[in-house]
Chains A and B, each alone.
Chain A
Amino acid sequence: MSATAAAHHDDHHPDPVVPVDKTPLGVTNGKFAMWLFLCQDCMGFVGLFAAYTALRVLAPVWPDPNASLGIVFTAWMTFVLILSSVSMVLALDAAQHDKKGALTFWLGATIAGGLFFLGGQYYEYSHLIHDGTTPGIHNFWSTFYSLTAFHGLHVLGGVIYMTCVWIGCLKGKYGKHNASHIEIVGLYWHFVDLVWILLFTFVYLIPPTPGKVEIAPWLTGGNG
């Protein structure tokens, strides 16, 4: 990883050469790059959300998500993701105060939270697919799977990214001098959390207007 190599090289020099306070935006190049990446990644999610909204509004009737999806189970997954975001900021706080042990612990906790979330999503998917509710049977399911799977892949990517940084932590590469590297991985992770917060409300919680609820065929034992 070139990022860790650069971090290692920077041990005796301020990172970057121009003091951060003197840059136009007051952030390191890496942090600005992550923000730009998040901007374009955000548009990817916006595309899927817009397609979902258009399809849902266009449909004369729509199934009630509360009848087909496990709301309480998903609320627990949301809770775990929020907790992992907190452990991420605590990891950053530890890095900024040069507490390497605490940094390794909190980043490890964040990875554990991400893995728990992925496990929960695997459990949810396997049950839904076992019940015959596959992406192909209804726009409700195709939009549901594309949104949650796109988000799930981001969680997977985040877990891999954080594991790479965590291995660096185990080797003692991260501390006060390069805490911005922890902040950058944190930005990515909080973005994934933020998207889930929106997704949980708009996909899982909001039911259709009372007169426009579709009696889902997969609930009545019909087609599906």
Chain B
Amino acid sequence: MFILYFFAFICVALFAKYAMAPAAPAATAAASGHDAHAHEGSHRGTYIAVAVSLTVLTVLEVMAVEFLKAKSHFAMVAVLIVMTLVKAFLVAAIFMHLRFERRTLVLIVCAPLMFATFLFLGLMPDSASLWLPA
């Protein structure tokens, strides 16, 4: 079960990676009469592939709670967090088109990640005080 599970996860990861490869058909579709948006083309196939990946990852997440709980808590939490970050990355990169934007814009919109890290680190001493010797 465990091995099957990770096999499924790797398949989805590969599928997502394949889906994200710049689509050659999009370029030809663009050339056939949509000159104004030649650089955009049609990403419809990519969109569907990402949707399938997101759905499968959601199912795998729910399964992880079912099947990995008794095995290893750490493995389950690690798997959940990795899959969630992959999903968030797919939405931001493909649905929100960050993969197709200029790097400057990507850097600007990633600024909140830095501030989020500061906020979490700033709250850490409060939380960690629980385990410090009195």
Contacts and interface: CB of A to CB of B under 8 A. Distances in A.
B123 A60 contact: no
B101 A194 contact: no
Interface string B106-134: 00110110011001100100110110000
Interface in B6-44: 34, 36-37, 40, 42-44
Given A82-B55, A206-B77, A197 B123 contact: no
Contact of A207 (B37, B47, B65, B102): B65
A197 B88 contact: yes
B62 interface: yes
A39 B111 contact: yes
Contacts of A191: 96
Given A58-B130, A83-B51, A210 B73 contact: yes
Given A201-B80, A206-B77, A187 B126 contact: no
7 contacts: A39-B109, A54-B127, A58-B130, A71-B65, A90-B47, A194-B91, A200-B61
Contacts of A193: 91, 95
B105 A26 contact: yes
A46 interface: yes
Given A39-B111, A86-B51, A205-B64, 8 more contacts: A26-B105, A39-B112, A50-B120, A71-B65, A89-B43, A89-B47, A201-B84, A206-B77
Contact of A46 (B37, B59, B65, B116): B116
Task: Identify the 7 closest CB pairs spanning chains A and B, nearest first.
Answer: A57-B127, A201-B84, A86-B51, A46-B116, A42-B112, A54-B123, A190-B95
Given A58-B130, A79-B55, A25 B102 contact: yes
B96 A190 contact: yes
Interface of B: 34, 36-37, 40, 42-44, 47-48, 50-51, 54-55, 58-59, 61-62, 64-65, 69, 73, 77, 80-81, 83-84, 87-88, 91-92, 95-97, 101-102, 104-105, 108-109, 111-112, 115-116, 119-120, 123, 126-127, 129-130
Nearest to A76: B58
Interface string A95-124: 011000000000000000000000000000
Nearest to A208: B73
A201 B86 CA distance: 12
Interface in A47-106: 47, 50-51, 53-54, 57-58, 60, 66, 71-72, 75, 78-79, 82-83, 85-86, 88-90, 93, 96-97
A7 B74 CA distance: 52
Contacts of A35: 105, 108-109
